[in-house]
Structure 1
Amino acid sequence: MFEQGEYIVYGSTGVCKVEKVTTMDMDGVPGDKLYYILRPYHKEDREIFTPVDNKKTKMRKLLSSNEIKSYLNEFNELEDFEITKEKFREDNYKQCVRGCDFREILRLVKSLLKRKRSRFLSGKNFPSTDERYLKIAENILFSEISYVLKLSKNEVEDFFRTNMKEMATT
């Protein structure tokens, strides 16, 4: 169980602060069932109420700064995110972002950025589904990197832009 005041990663929302662990006083809700009240990092005007024992949306502790740096150092060597079948592309994206696995989401971002660049260079549009999941995946990654490494979101975005340019020249 997470503690009040702790920062966690919550599903496709990204980094959230555990504002409170409490019961809910509502009809149809057992009085002893515990809930987290979460406040998304960078969107402090929102609140999320989720059961402590939520099995549908994954929650995890933040990675350490060393873990994040290790993943970022291997960014250019990461293998592409694999799409099993083209018709299941969106399902693969959805499963990845909901899975809350930093490395897999990093692979997805890398692959989508490469795909976007490739399509641009060949004069093709970037599909809206790809764009939507790129934004979701970037939000998850960038919020965790930004919070843990004490960087602004702009600094994190610059890192990815720089690394994508390096990949394009190799």
Structure 2
Amino acid sequence: MFQENDLIYYGNTGVCRVVEVGYPPSKAPGKAGQLYYKLDPLYETGMIYVPVDTPVFMRPIITREQAQTFLSTLSDVKEDEFTSQRRAEMMDHYRSLLHAHSCESLAQLIKTLGNKAHRFSVLGRHLSAAEQEYKKRAENLLYGELAVALGLSTPEDAAALAGPALCNF
């Protein structure tokens, strides 16, 4: 169980601070007597109330040492080799990388879609809106976690550190 002030990675929201562990306000939905986390997303607005036994993915954020090790091996991340002629299969695959909730899978998704965007730009084409959204979401999640783990001011600072290693062009 997480404690107040813990920094956690929550679902597809990303880094949140546990503000409180307790019972939700009387107007909040939920089972009476059920413990909730009150989460404050670091890079989004609003508060999240979630039962402590939620099926939504939660984990502690990576440590500074893990972030530094990750950055040192980032250029070794390979572009994803999954291909399909069916758009729905590709979107399901991208979603599975996003929902793996690991820095490695997020980096792979960013690298894959970034390189695809570059290849497409040479041909005068663009990524689909869905692909652009998956790439942006992966960047927000990865750079947000790296920024917190490394004590950086903003996710943009983390992007400046990680971004060059994610481009093959």
Shorter-chain TM-score: what band?
A: 0.7 to 0.9
TM-score (norm 1): 0.86
How far the C-alpha of 1:163 sits from its partner, in A, is: 2.7
Query: Is structure 2 residue 83 aligned with structure 1 residue 63?
Result: no
Counterpart amino acid of residue 62 in structure 1: I
How far the C-alpha of 1:5 sits from its partner, in A, is: 0.9
**Which of residues 147, 150, 156 is equivalent to 1:154?**
156
| Cα distance per residue 1:110-158 (max 9 Å; x no partner) | 1111111111122211211110001111111011111111223222222
Provide the alpha-carbon RMSD of the alignment. 2.0
Query: Is structure 2 residue 126 aligned with structure 1 residue 120?
Result: no
Checking the alignment, whether the CA contact within 8 Å between 1:11 and 1:97 is kept in structure 2 is no
Checking the alignment, whether the CA contact within 8 Å between 2:107 and 2:166 is kept in structure 1 is no
Q: Which residue of 2 aligns with 1:76?
A: 75
Q: Which residue of 2 aligns with 1:163?
A: 165
How far the C-alpha of 1:74 sits from its partner, in A, is: 1.5
Count of equivalent residues: 165
Tell me, in whole angstroms, the C-alpha distance in 2 between the residues paired with 1:54 and 1:164.
Answer: 33
Any gaps of 5 or more consecutive residues in structure 1? Answer: none
Counterpart amino acid of residue 124 in structure 1: R
Counterpart amino acid of residue 16 in structure 2: C
Checking the alignment, whether the CA contact within 8 Å between 1:58 and 1:99 is kept in structure 2 is no
Checking the alignment, whether the CA contact within 8 Å between 2:140 and 2:155 is kept in structure 1 is no
Where does 1:99-110 land on structure 2 (aligned, <5 Å)?
99-110=100-111
How far the C-alpha of 1:9 sits from its partner, in A, is: 0.4
In percent, how many aligned pairs have the same letter?
Answer: 24
Counterpart amino acid of residue 48 in structure 2: I
Tell me, in whole angstroms, the C-alpha distance in 1 between the residues paired with 2:135 and 2:43.
Answer: 18
- Gap change, CA 1:10 and 1:82, over 3 Å in 2: farther
How far the C-alpha of 1:10 sits from its partner, in A, is: 0.5
Checking the alignment, whether the CA contact within 8 Å between 2:11 and 2:58 is kept in structure 1 is yes
How far the C-alpha of 1:81 sits from its partner, in A, is: 2.6
| Cα distance per residue 1:14-50 (max 9 Å; x no partner) | 100011111233587332211111111133x311111
Tell me, in whole angstroms, the C-alpha distance in 2 between the residues paired with 1:58 and 1:82.
Answer: 26
Any gaps of 5 or more consecutive residues in structure 2? Answer: none
- Gap change, CA 1:140 and 1:164, over 3 Å in 2: closer
Q: Secondary structure at the match of 1:99?
A: coil
Counterpart amino acid of residue 155 in structure 2: K
Q: Which residue of 2 aligns with 1:92?
A: 93
| Cα distance per residue 1:29-72 (max 9 Å; x no partner) | 332211111111133x31111111111x2111011111112122
| Cα distance per residue 1:89-121 (max 9 Å; x no partner) | 111222222231221111111111111111112
Query: Hey, which bits of structure 1, 4+ residues long, moved more than 6 A?
Result: none
